[in-house]
Structure 1
Amino acid sequence: MMDSKPQLTIWGRANSVNVQKVLWCLAELDLPYQRIDAGMQFGKNDQPDYLAMNPNGRVPTLVDGDYVLWESNSVMRYLCMAYGQGAPLYPQAPKARAAVDRWLDWTLSTLQPVDRPVFWGLVRTPPDKRDMVQLQKDADAEGAVWRVVEAQLAGRRFIEGDHFTIADIALGAFARRWLGVEGVTKPKLPNLERWFGEIAGRPAFVRFIAPPMS
């Protein structure tokens, strides 16, 4: 077990979905940290010192002492393994852990690509510059992907059963975006909405995920 009082720094702006995932995970683990704004209007992520830590120039980046890690899902895994002390957020049993891992991978490979055009089009594009016909097509594509989660949640409290895990964090951060955008027609997904209603009551969600999207 590593130091129980880590010196953690998170580089990244609070309105980044990938930073939000890490902040949510940190709160669930009750870990102290400091956060430094970086990315978009805050800059810094294109500076040599930052690129030396994260050559992608993306956020978030975790600094734990002399250890640096980027990629938000990998950061969540690391935090759970290093400081989780057996917490069910990231189960240790191989099959249970792999089941969680697949959702982290799926979020990156399948969900994020269809979420991005909808979120950017409805949240970060001025109304007079939106192509609503295209945005509805994009929303239809994203809705089809969320049906996979809808089916998974049939008969389950959380994404992988009875315990809240980092799979719920990864999907929950994107579900907040999907359920929060307006102006497009979306399918009715009652299992998703029931699950979202439960995770939305967690204090870390209220603090980091619930604020107005920007």
Structure 2
Amino acid sequence: MCHSDKTRKMAEREKPMALVLYGRKDSINVQKVLWLLTELGTEFDVIEKGGAFGGLEDEDFKAMSPFGRVPVLRDGDFTLPESNAILRYLAQTQPGGDAFYPNDPQTRAKIDSWMDFGSMSLYPDFMKTFSMVVRTPPKERKMNVLAMSTRRVQMECLKIGQALGDKPWIMGESITLADIATGVYMYRFWSLPVITRQRQGRVESWTARLTERPAYQQVVATDYRHMFPSAAAHH
């Protein structure tokens, strides 16, 4: 073997393993992570798990995710479940990540609070609304439940609007994980059929700014009609 071949093979062995994300691309929690990875221009692979892809009960997947949910990130020998934890890890380990999660304890604490708000307050009511429209045949929809969950999502959106004020992003002049962890729900919420929404100028303008971002267009603002049951898809 010539010297150049040896050098090339050594370089290949030393090259860090690509990040691998496990999860289906239409899962909103997976989209959170895909969005940040795309914003950062990070190289990664996706292995689709969950939903029609199955695999959540496989022993190798359970070893990576004791919670049995997607997404899961693998970085070499290190694996990490839970979307918000993955967002923070990527922001602290990938080039450019500090712009989304600045290295200041107070700023990070405020971003963390918005990430918790997204998962604990916004997500449950959004999923009630989304599931009632997208995953429920029209004749089985409980319109009173749907109206209530929609109102609750809009109440949570009011809090985002108050935080935005006249700023372009939740934390100020730059987009951060606070926007990613909450903004990931906005495309689907504002585009859902069937439901009646009240106008919310600040949040709608913020959603428009999100939608202008190429990474958001590529990962989040995607067609989800395939998720409707066949009976509901034409209503």
Structure 1 residue identity aligned to 2:113? R
Deviation string, structure 1 residues 104-126 (Cα, Å, up to 9, x no partner): 01111111111111011111222
Structure 2 residue identity aligned to 1:143? Q
Q: Distance in 1 between matches of 2:220 and 2:97?
A: 25
TM-score normalized with structure 2 length: 0.86
RMSD of Structure 2 on Structure 1 (CA) = 1.6
SS in 1 for 2:193: coil
Determine which structure has more spread, i.e. the larger CA radius of gyration.
2
Q: Which residue is equivalent to 2:119? A: 108
Q: Which residue is equivalent to 1:99? A: 110
Structure 2 residue identity aligned to 1:15? D
SS in 2 for 1:200: helix
Counterpart pick for 1:74 among 85, 92, 108: 85
Identity %: 35
1:53 aligns with 2:50: no
Cα contact 2:23–2:46 (8 A) shared by 1: yes
Deviation string, structure 1 residues 163-190 (Cα, Å, up to 9, x no partner): 0111111111111221121212212110
Q: Which residue is equivalent to 1:192? A: 203
Counterpart pick for 2:43 among 20, 29, 32: 32
The offset of 1:88, in angstroms, is: 1.1
Cα contact 1:86–1:92 (8 A) shared by 2: no
Q: Map 1:95-174; keep pairs closer than 5 Å.
A: 95-174=106-185
Q: Which residue is equivalent to 1:41? A: 52
Cα distance change, pair 94–41 in 1 and its aligned pair in 2 (3 A): same
**Larger deviation, residues 18-27 vs 126-135:** 126-135
Structure 2 residue identity aligned to 1:38? K
TM-score normalized with structure 1 length: 0.94
Q: Distance in 1 between matches of 2:56 and 2:63?
A: 10
SS in 2 for 1:87: helix
The offset of 1:66, in angstroms, is: 0.2
Could you list the runs of 5+ residues in structure 2 that have no partner in the other structure? 1-13, 228-235
Could you list the runs of 5+ residues in structure 1 that have no partner in the other structure? none
1:209 aligns with 2:209: no
Aligned residues: 212
SS in 1 for 2:166: coil
The offset of 1:6, in angstroms, is: 5.0
